[in-house]
Amino acid sequence: MDCRDIKELLSAYIDGALSQEERAQVEEHLKTCKECSESLAALKEAVSQIKGLEEVEPPPLLAKRIMKAIKKEARYPLRIRIPLQAAAMIAIAFTSIYLYKSFQPSSVREAKELPGEYATPQAPSQPPIVVGKAGPTPEKEEAVALRNAPAPAKQEAKIADKRIQVSRAAPAKLKAAAPSVTREERMADAVMKKEPRPMAAAQPKTAAPLVAEAPAIQAPPAAAPAAEVGIMEEKAPQAKKESAGAMRMKAESIYKPTDIRVTIYAKNLDATVREVAKILNQAGATMVKYESFEYKKISISVLPPQDLPKVLEKLKPLGEVKGAESIPAPKEPLVRLIIEMVEQKH
Amino acid sequence: MIVDLRPVPDEDAGLVSLCKGGATGPFETLVKRHQKKMLNIVYRMIGDYEEACDVVQEAFVSAYKGINGFEGKSRFSTWLYSIAINQARNRLKQMKARRQFEAGSIDEPVPGRDRLIRLEPASGDPPASDTVERKEIQSKVQECINTLEHGYREILVLRDMQGFSYDEIGSMLGLLEGTVRSRLFRAREAFMKKMKSHLGDL
C-alpha cells in the first residue's frame, strides 16, 4: 500500500471507521512514513478547527415562534386554509362587483330591478335533437331534396330557404338551439303552406314539428306533413339544423343591426324608464342597456323588426313620441332600438 | 474515537407517538430539545443566522405535518435533522438565485457572513485577547466552509461539528456508509486546501 492509499484511509482512521485490518495497515505505515504522519497531524488540526467552531444559541423566542406556526397548522392545515382563502378571495371579488354596481344612478338600478330579467341569448346547452341519421354533407342533401321536388314546390322551397336564412340571424329571442331551429323551420313550413303566421305566435316547441319541416321542401304545399316523411326527408332536417346553427353563430358574431331612433318627451323620467323597461321586457328585446344623463335617459336594445310596431305602439301612452312615424320596414333580421327619454319642460 | 454501531434507544419515541394524534404539547418538548442542534447544523450550512432560524421553523412545521409518516426506522432526531438539511439545501438554492438576481458574482463568497457570530455574546466570560484571536480563526474557518460546495459543507458540519456517526450521516443524507467515508475524505481535503490558501491572510 502506498502513501496515496494511506492518505485516503487517514480520514476514516481518525474517526475510527476503519476495519481492523485497514487500521493495522495504516498504523504499520505511519510508523515508517514521515510524510503520512504529517498528513495525519494536518488532518487532525483541520478537524479540530472545524470542531472549534462555537455553537450558536437559538434566539429566546424561536421555540415560541415555531409553536405558534405549528398551532396554526394544527388548527387549519394548509389543505384547508388554501381553499378557504380562495373562497374568501372570490367572495371579496363578487362583493366588490356588487358594490360597484350599486353605486350606479338610481334610475338605472330601478330599471334593472324590475321582475323578469331581460333574457340574454344563451349558448345552447344541449345539442340539437337528432331526427334520423346524419347526412354526409348537408348542402348536398338539400340540393338533392330540391332537385327531387316538383317545380312549383322547388321555387317555394327556395323562398322558404331564404326566409330561413333571414330568420336564422334572429337569435336574440331564442334561448336554445333546438327550439330556435324548430321555430325557423316552422316559419318555413308556414310559408310553404301559404298560411302566414305572425312571428310572435310561433312559439318554440318540442321536437315533433321538426319533422314537419322536411316534407314542406319536397312535398306539395298542402300535403299533410306526417304522411310524407321518407328517408331523404328524415335526413334533411337534421342537416339543415346543423347548417342553421352554424349560420346563426356566424350571423351573431358579425351582424350589426340598423339603428331606429325614437325620442319620448315625458313628464317623469324615472317612471318612464321603468315603463320602457317593462315594455322591452315583454317584447323580448335583448341586450338592453341604459345610459343616464342629467335631463335625459337612453335605452338601447336589440329586437326583431316585426316586434317593432308593437313596441312603438306601447310607447305612445308614455308621452310625446317622435321619430316613430317614419320608420322604414327594415330588411334586417334585427334592429337596434334607441329610445331617448327627455324630460318635458312646462 | 469509536463509531457506535449499536442501535440507540430513541429518547423521543414516547413523545413522538403522542404527537401522532396531533397533540402540540409534546411536540413543544421536542422543539425545545432539538432546536439548538438543528439551528447549528443549518446555520453552519447556510451561514446566515436569520435565514437559519427561518429554516428551522419551516423544518419543525413540516416535521409536525409529516410526523404520521415517521415509522421509527431511524431515530427521530435523525429524521428531523434530515428534514432540516433538506430545507436548508432548498434555502441555499433560493439564496443563490436571489443573489444572482441582485447582481454580483455567485462564486464569490459573501463577505462578513460570520459577523453575526461575533456579535453573539460569548457565553458570559469576559473578552480576552485569546478569545478575540479564537474568533478570528473561527470566522476564517467558517469562510472556508462557506466556499466549499454544498455536499462537502453538509458532511463537515455533521461529522466534525456535530459528531454524528457515519451511519447517522448516511441515513440523514441518504448515502451509503462507504460514500460517507469517501465524501468526508474529499471534503476534508478541500477544506484543508482552502485553509492553506487563507493562512497567509491570518
Three-state SS sequence of B5-60: CCCCCCCCHHHHHHHCCCCCHHHHHHHHHHHHHHHHHHHHHHCCHHHHHHHHHHHH
pLDDT at A105: 57
Judgement on whether residues B191 and B142 belong to the same structural domain of the protein:
yes
Q: What is the mean pLDDT of chain B?
A: 81
Give per-residue pLDDT as tens, A85-135.
899 999 999 999 998 888 765 555 555 554 444 444 444 445 544 444 444
pLDDT at A104: 63
Q: Among residues B44, B75, B108, which one ends one of the domains?
A: B108
pLDDT at A121: 47
Residue B193 lies in a domain: yes
Judgement on whether residues B136 and B74 belong to the same structural domain of the protein:
no
> Which residues from chain A sit within 8 angstroms of residue B57, using beta carbons?
62, 65-66, 69
Residue B113 lies in a domain: no
Cα(first)–Cα(last) distance of chain A, in Å? 120
Domain assignments of chain A as residue spans, ordered by start: 3-51, 64-103, 138-254, 258-343
Give CA–CA dist B199/B141, Å, rounded: 10
Closest CA to A182 of A160, A157, A203, A165: A203
pLDDT band at residue A245 using 50, 70 and 90 as cut-offs: low
Give CA–CA dist A9/A127, Å, rounded: 78
Give Cβ neighbours of residue A163 (< 8 Å, ≥ 6 apart): A187, A188, A191
Give CA–CA dist A331/A316, Å, rounded: 24
Closest CA to B118 of B137, B103, B93: B137
Mean per-residue pLDDT, A235-255: 53
B184 in contact with chain A, both atoms CB, cutoff 8 A: yes
Residue A343 has pLDDT above 90, yes or no: no
Residue B63 has pLDDT above 60, yes or no: yes
**How many contacts (CB atoms, under 8 Å) link A and B?**
110
Q: Among residues B76, B108, B140, which one ends one of the domains?
A: B108
Using a CB–CB cut-off of 8 Å, the residues of A that contact B are: 8, 10-12, 14-17, 42-43, 46-47, 49-59, 62-63, 65-67, 69-71, 73-74, 77-78
**Best mutation site among B53, B87, B130 for testing chain A: the one with the most A CBs within 10 Å?**
B53
pLDDT band at residue B120 using 50, 70 and 90 as cut-offs: very low
pLDDT band at residue A308 using 50, 70 and 90 as cut-offs: confident
Judgement on whether residues B23 and B77 belong to the same structural domain of the protein:
yes
- Cβ separation B61–A65 shorter than 8 A: no
Q: 351573431: which residue's cell?
A: A252
Judgement on whether residues B97 and B152 belong to the same structural domain of the protein:
no
Closest CA to A184 of A244, A135, A265: A244
> By the 8 A CB rule, do A267 and A292 touch?
no
Residue B56 lies in a domain: yes
- Cβ separation B138–A54 shorter than 8 A: yes
Give CA–CA dist B63/B168, Å, rounded: 18
pLDDT band at residue A8 using 50, 70 and 90 as cut-offs: confident
Collapsed DSSP state (helix, strand, coil) of residue B78 = helix
Closest CA to B47 of B15, B98, B95: B95
> By the 8 A CB rule, do A215 and A229 touch?
yes
pLDDT band at residue B37 using 50, 70 and 90 as cut-offs: very high
B44 in contact with chain A, both atoms CB, cutoff 8 A: yes
Q: Which three cell numbers stand for residue A92?
A: 371579496
Judgement on whether residues B90 and B175 belong to the same structural domain of the protein:
no
pTM of the model: 0.48
Q: Which three cell numbers stand for residue B10?
A: 430513541
pLDDT at A218: 46
Q: 474557518: which residue's cell?
A: B141
Give per-residue pLDDT as tens, A31-73.
999 999 999 999 999 999 898 888 889 998 999 999 999 888 7
pLDDT at A342: 87
> Which residues from chain A sit within 8 angstroms of residue B39, using beta carbons?
56, 58, 62
- Cβ separation B137–A52 shorter than 8 A: yes
Mean per-residue pLDDT, B30-40: 92
Who among A43, A52, A69 is closest to B61 (CB)? A69
Give CA–CA dist B145/B195, Å, rounded: 9
Q: Among residues B73, B108, B143, which one ends one of the domains?
A: B108
Cα A252 to chain centroid, rounded: 15
Provide the number of structural domains found in chain B.
Answer: 2
Mean per-residue pLDDT, A8-37: 91
- Cβ separation B192–A77 shorter than 8 A: no
Residue B66 has pLDDT above 60, yes or no: yes
pLDDT at A134: 45
Residue B3 lies in a domain: no
CATH of the domain at B61: 1.10.1740.10
Residue A146 has pLDDT above 90, yes or no: no
When mean pLDDT is compared across A77-86, A294-303, A336-345, B23-32, the lowest value belongs to A77-86
Residue A173 has pLDDT above 50, yes or no: no
Collapsed DSSP state (helix, strand, coil) of residue B97 = helix
Cα(first)–Cα(last) distance of chain B, in Å? 30
Q: What is the mean pLDDT of chain A?
A: 69
Percentage above 70 pLDDT, chain A: 52
Residue A187 has pLDDT above 80, yes or no: no
Give CA–CA dist B36/B135, Å, rounded: 20
Residue A21 has pLDDT above 70, yes or no: yes
> A7: nearest CA in chain B?
B185
pLDDT at A229: 44
Closest CA to A318 of A344, A292, A336: A344
> Which residues from chain A sit within 8 angstroms of residue B134, using beta carbons?
52
pLDDT band at residue B50 using 50, 70 and 90 as cut-offs: very high
Who among B120, B192, B195 is closest to A56 (CB)? B120
When mean pLDDT is compared across A14-18, A130-134, B172-176, the lowest value belongs to A130-134
- Cβ separation A63–B192 shorter than 8 A: no
- Cβ separation A58–B39 shorter than 8 A: yes
pLDDT at B40: 94
> By the 8 A CB rule, do B161 and B43 touch?
no
pLDDT at B84: 94
Judgement on whether residues B100 and B32 belong to the same structural domain of the protein:
yes
pLDDT at A10: 92
Judgement on whether residues B74 and B135 belong to the same structural domain of the protein:
no
Residue B51 lies in a domain: yes
Residue A329 has pLDDT above 70, yes or no: no
Residue B138 has pLDDT above 60, yes or no: yes
Give CA–CA dist B18/B20, Å, rounded: 5
Give CA–CA dist A78/A93, Å, rounded: 22
When mean pLDDT is compared across A8-17, A168-177, B5-14, the lowest value belongs to A168-177
Judgement on whether residues B96 and B137 belong to the same structural domain of the protein:
no
- Cβ separation B36–A51 shorter than 8 A: no
Closest CA to A252 of A330, A187, A174, A170: A170
Judgement on whether residues B158 and B97 belong to the same structural domain of the protein:
no
pLDDT band at residue B42 using 50, 70 and 90 as cut-offs: very high
- Cβ separation B161–A46 shorter than 8 A: no
**Best mutation site among B35, B114, B123, B133 for testing chain A: the one with the most A CBs within 10 Å?**
B35
Judgement on whether residues B27 and B61 belong to the same structural domain of the protein:
yes
Judgement on whether residues B157 and B197 belong to the same structural domain of the protein:
yes
Q: Which residues are registered as beta bridge partners of A303? A: A335
What is the span of the domain harbouring residue B153?
A: 128-202
CATH of the domain at B169: 1.10.10.10
- Cβ separation A70–B60 shorter than 8 A: yes
pLDDT at A91: 95
Residue A175 has pLDDT above 50, yes or no: no
> By the 8 A CB rule, do B76 and B19 touch?
no
Which residue would you say has higher pLDDT here, A263 or A133?
A263
Give the minimum alpha-carbon distance from A65 to chain B in angstroms, rounded to a whole number.
8
**Best mutation site among A15, A76, A79 for testing chain B: the one with the most B CBs within 10 Å?**
A15
A286 — phi, psi (to 5°)?
Answer: -120, 175
Residue B68 has pLDDT above 90, yes or no: no
B153 in contact with chain A, both atoms CB, cutoff 8 A: no
Give Cβ neighbours of residue B117 (< 8 Å, ≥ 6 apart): A54, A56, B49, B135, B138, B139, B142
pLDDT at B143: 87
Mean per-residue pLDDT, B68-73: 84
- Cβ separation A69–B57 shorter than 8 A: yes
pLDDT at A176: 43
- B 45-104 residues with CB < 8 A to A: 49, 53, 56-57, 60-61, 64-65
Residue B134 has pLDDT above 60, yes or no: yes
> A14: nearest CA in chain B?
B1
Residue A210 has pLDDT above 90, yes or no: no
For the sheet containing A286-292, what is the strand order? A286-292, A296-303, A335-343, A258-266, A320-322
Count Cβ atoms below 10 Å from residue A192 Cβ, excluding itself. 25
Cα A57 to chain centroid, rounded: 59
Give CA–CA dist B145/B152, Å, rounded: 8
Which residue would you say has higher pLDDT here, A320 or B7?
A320
Give the minimum alpha-carbon distance from A46 to chain B in angstroms, rounded to a whole number.
6
pLDDT at A241: 53
Cα A87 to chain centroid, rounded: 21
> B120: nearest CA in chain A?
A56
Residue B137 has pLDDT above 60, yes or no: yes
pLDDT at A94: 94
pLDDT band at residue A211 using 50, 70 and 90 as cut-offs: very low
Which residue would you say has higher pLDDT here, A286 or B119?
A286
- Cβ separation A50–B145 shorter than 8 A: yes
Give CA–CA dist A343/A267, Å, rounded: 6
- B 103-142 residues with CB < 8 A to A: 117, 120, 122, 134, 137-138, 141-142
Residue B36 lies in a domain: yes
Judgement on whether residues B66 and B98 belong to the same structural domain of the protein:
yes
